Amino acid sequence: MDLVLRTIYVFVLIFIVTRAVGRRELSSMEPFDLILLIVIGDLVQQGVTQSDYSLTGATTVIVTMALLTVFTAYLSFRFKRLRPVLEGEPVLLIADGELLRRNLRRQRMTVDEVRAEARQQSIGALGAVRYAVLETNGRISFITGD
């Protein structure tokens, strides 16, 4: 039972930390970020299992984590009001060709990052963008045209 409680605690902690870090940072990981995630994973494992290296302990932790993931997905599906908390909401970054700097600041994004994303989607100038939306997965969707 101790493993289950530890897993629940770590799951909630990871959920809160990933929400605080922000979706943009998580979608554009650098090599250092990847290494940091691996280190965090090891620290989480040590904190959850302590000195329990048994197959039963590992199975308990994995099954608990999977059930919590399914449970949060079910809550998001079943209760519309929880979706913004569990999944986040898309954020408008450009409206009618104008940068919404306040939203950029809230997401800790620079104009250069938006320009780089636009270039990757073959958009030469931000003035050509009618709308740009930071999606819940951290990617930016651009809508161009009239």
Q: How many CB atoms lie within 10 A of CB 64?
A: 19
pLDDT score at 22? 67
Q: How far is CA 52 from the centre of its chain?
A: 30
Co-location of 124 and 71 in the same domain: no
Count of the separate structural domains present in the chain: 2
State how far the Cα of 22 lies from the Cα of 39, in Å rounded to an integer.
Answer: 19
pLDDT given for residue 24 in this prediction: 57
| Domain end position, chosen among 87, 108, 124 | 87
Q: Distance of alpha carbon 121 from its chain centroid, rounded?
A: 21
81 and 69 in a common domain: yes
In a shared domain, residues 48 and 80: yes
Structure confidence at residue 74 (pLDDT): 92
SS3 content of the chain, % helix, strand, coil (to 5): 65, 10, 25
pLDDT at residue 111 in the model: 93
pLDDT along the chain (146 residues), means of 10: 86 82 63 75 79 80 89 91 88 92 91 92 89 89 84
Q: What pLDDT is recorded for position 10?
A: 87
Domain residue limits at 96: 91-144
Domain end call among 87, 102, 119: 87
- Is the whole-model pTM more than 0.75? no
